[in-house]
């Protein structure tokens, strides 16, 4: 098996295959340090955590992660709690993506796994034959690897998806007229749970990584110049957007990481071509408002590993043949949820008063209807892998 990309999708797939006795080679463009320190997602769904535990990756997670039983939606200077545990019996877990990646790399290394970093110029061919081929450059040497299957886990900017002939792929995309400015700060969380705040100055999110580190985001323009955001401006803007009538106080601290993330929804169909499969961000991107991207990558590789295990154990090809169709049902559910959360919580163009009224009506409904709150909670904590045939 050839796997491109040592992000969460590629590394977890390699680990799951190893547990089934299937060997894989993972090719990664960056160095190991970079991959382990890239700051991204923070929220793991219930099912993601259960899976990580089941496959022996729960030790550090259980020591370091924070269990969250709900979130707060804040608007009109008032907070409203959505109680996930009470509504769904499920919780989410706050654990940085880079910690998941560290755990995965450690597991692959201790099992003697073949993960190669700093690999250049990966190209793919013979995808429609029985032995798809990867060519790449490793330490200035050109190499060729013939595989049974290749899985593109190389993220949104990878080479796998563009290798598929354009007339085979259908792309669905939505760009949003804003981005997120994200910071990590040495500051204890100002709330026990995440706060999603809708304000007339724009959206803000209060999240965390540990009892001493907060992760916070501000809605900004897509072309925002990060230099225009010295730390003081970030803190005062966060304070304004989180302000409520109970005197909420935001604890400040030293900001040690800052970045701007554009927002888009993107889905490609199908997620397979010949013996090439796509998983994770290589096949789809969601805006981060629903905290779904990493969890969706995990769901893809879980499904794919089952198809591959059935192929190697019994020669079955049906699960592999259905991979794209099955994965896409969850992908579109999550795409809808992420779009819905994004649309409800952000500020769109000034002057769009009709839209603002609609957002408000929707927020009001979510926090006053048990049915709507349950729908949010069910999606946020993650639809179970076995909830019905369609989310297998």
Q: Of the candidates 161, 215, 252, 306, which one interacts with ligand PHB according to CB under 6 A? A: 215
Residue nearest to ligand PHB (CB): 42
Residues 59-98 touching ligand PHB, rule: CB under 6 A, are none
Distances (CA, A) of 204 to 180, 181, 200, 306: 9, 9, 11, 39
Out of 14, 88, 295, 359, name the contact with ligand RFL by CB under 6 A: 295
Tell me whether residue 176 is one of the annotated catalytic residues: no
Residue 289's binding partner among ligand PHB, ligand RFL, none (Cβ under 5 to 8 angstroms by kind) is ligand PHB
Residues 6+ apart with CB under 8 A from 120: 29, 136, 137, 138
What whole-number distance in Å separates Cα of residue 344 and Cα of residue 289?
10
Positions 85 through 104 that interact with ligand RFL (CB under 6 A): 97
Question: Is residue 95 flagged as an active site residue?
Answer: no
Is 3 a binder of ligand RFL (CB under 6 A)? no
206 in active site = no
Q: Among residues 215 and 346, whose Cβ is nearest to ligand PHB?
A: 215
Instruction: Tell me: does residue 382 bind ligand RFL (CB under 6 A).
Output: no
From 4, 51, 291, 373, residue interacting with ligand PHB (rule: CB under 6 A): 291
Strands lying side by side in the sheet with 119-125? 119-125, 133-138, 141-146
Task: Name the active-site residue from 15, 46, 292, 346.
Answer: 292
Contacts for 369 with CB less than 8 Å, ≥ 6 apart: none
∠ CA 286-3-122, nearest 5°, is 95
Instruction: Looking at the chain, list the stretches that DSSP marks H as alpha helix, in order from N- to C-terminal side.
Output: 8-19, 32-37, 46-54, 59-64, 84-88, 97-110, 160-163, 231-242, 293-314, 318-345, 353-368, 370-381
Among 9, 26, 29, 43, binds ligand PHB (CB under 6 A): 43
- Binding string, residues 249-288; x marks residues near ligand PHB by CB under 6 A: ---------------------------------------x
Size of the site for ligand PHB (CB under 6 A): 10
CB neighbours of 285 closer than 8 A, spacing ≥ 6?
156, 264, 265, 266, 293
Residue 215 binding partner per list ligand RFL, ligand PHB, none, with a CB distance cut-off of 5 to 8 Å that depends on partner kind:
ligand PHB
What is the distance between the alpha carbons of residues 133 and 2, in angstroms, rounded to a whole number? Answer: 9
Annotated active-site residue in 196, 217, 273, 277: 196
Query: Is residue 42 part of the contact set for ligand PHB (CB under 6 A)?
Result: yes
226: exposed, middle or buried (C-beta count within 10 Å: 0-12, 13-18, 19+)?
exposed
Q: Which is nearer to ligand PHB, 127 or 183 (CB)?
A: 183
Residue 177: beta bridge partners? none
Q: Give me 286's structure tokens.
A: 């969601």
Q: Kind and range of the H or E element at 173?
A: strand 170-186
- Of these partners, ligand RFL, ligand PHB, none, which one is at the site of residue 30 (CB under 5 to 8 Å by kind)? ligand RFL
Binding mask 246-265 for ligand RFL (x = CB under 6 A): ---------------x----
Q: What phi-psi label fits residue 342: left (phi over 0), alpha (psi between -120 and 50 degrees) or beta?
A: alpha
Helix 318-345, helix 353-368: angle, nearest 10: 110
> Would you call 68 a catalytic residue per the annotation?
yes
Residue 29 partner contact from ligand PHB, ligand RFL, none using kind-dependent CB cut-offs of 5 to 8 Å: ligand RFL
Chain contacts with ligand PHB (rule: CB under 6 A): 41-43, 194, 205, 207, 215, 288-289, 291
Q: Give the active site residues.
A: 68, 196, 288, 292, 380
């Amino acid at each position: 098996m050839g796997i491109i990309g040592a992000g969460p999708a590629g590394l977890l797939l390699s680990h799951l295959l190893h547990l089934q006795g299937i060997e894989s080679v993972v090719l990664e463009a960056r160095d190991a340090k970079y991959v382990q320190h890239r700051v991204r997602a923070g929220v793991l769904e219930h099912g993601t955590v259960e899976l990580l535990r089941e496959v022996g990756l729960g030790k550090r997670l259980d020591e370091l992660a924070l269990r969250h039983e709900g979130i707060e939606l804040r608007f009109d200077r008032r907070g409203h709690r959505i109680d996930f545990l009470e509504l769904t019996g499920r919780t989410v877990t706050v654990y940085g993506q880079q910690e998941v990646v560290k755990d995965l790399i450690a597991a692959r290394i201790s099992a003697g796994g073949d993960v190669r970093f700093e690999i250049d110029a990966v190209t793919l061919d013979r995808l429609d034959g029985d032995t798809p081929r990867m060519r790449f450059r490793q330490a200035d040497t050109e190499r060729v690897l013939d595989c049974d299957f290749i899985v593109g886990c190389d993220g949104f900017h990878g080479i796998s998806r563009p290798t598929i002939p354009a007339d085979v792929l259908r792309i669905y995309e939505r760009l949003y007229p804003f981005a997120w400015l994200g910071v990590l700060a040495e500051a204890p969380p100002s709330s026990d749970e995440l706060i999603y705040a809708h304000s007339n100055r724009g959206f803000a999110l209060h999240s965390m990584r540990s009892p001493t580190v907060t992760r916070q985001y501000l809605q900004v323009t897509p072309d925002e110049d990060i230099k225009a955001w010295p730390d003081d401006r970030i803190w005062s803007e966060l304070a304004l957007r989180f302000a409520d009538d109970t005197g909420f106080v935001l604890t400040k601290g030293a900001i040690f990481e800052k970045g701007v993330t554009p927002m888009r929804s993107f889905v490609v169909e199908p997620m397979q071509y010949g013996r090439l499969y796509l998983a994770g961000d290589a096949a789809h991107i969601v805006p981060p408002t629903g905290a779904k991207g990493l969890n969706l990558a995990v769901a893809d590789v879980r499904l794919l590993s089952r198809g591959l295990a059935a192929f190697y154990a019994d020669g079955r090809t049906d699960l592999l043949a259905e991979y794209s169709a099955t994965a896409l049902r969850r992908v579109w559910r999550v795409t809808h949820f992420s779009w819905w959360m994004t649309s409800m919580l952000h500020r769109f163009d000034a002057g769009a008063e009709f839209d603002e009224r609609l957002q408000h009506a929707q927020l009001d409904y979510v926090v006053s209807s048990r049915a709507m709150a349950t729908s949010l909670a069910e999606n946020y904590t993650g639809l179970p892998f076995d909830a019905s045939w369609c989310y297998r």
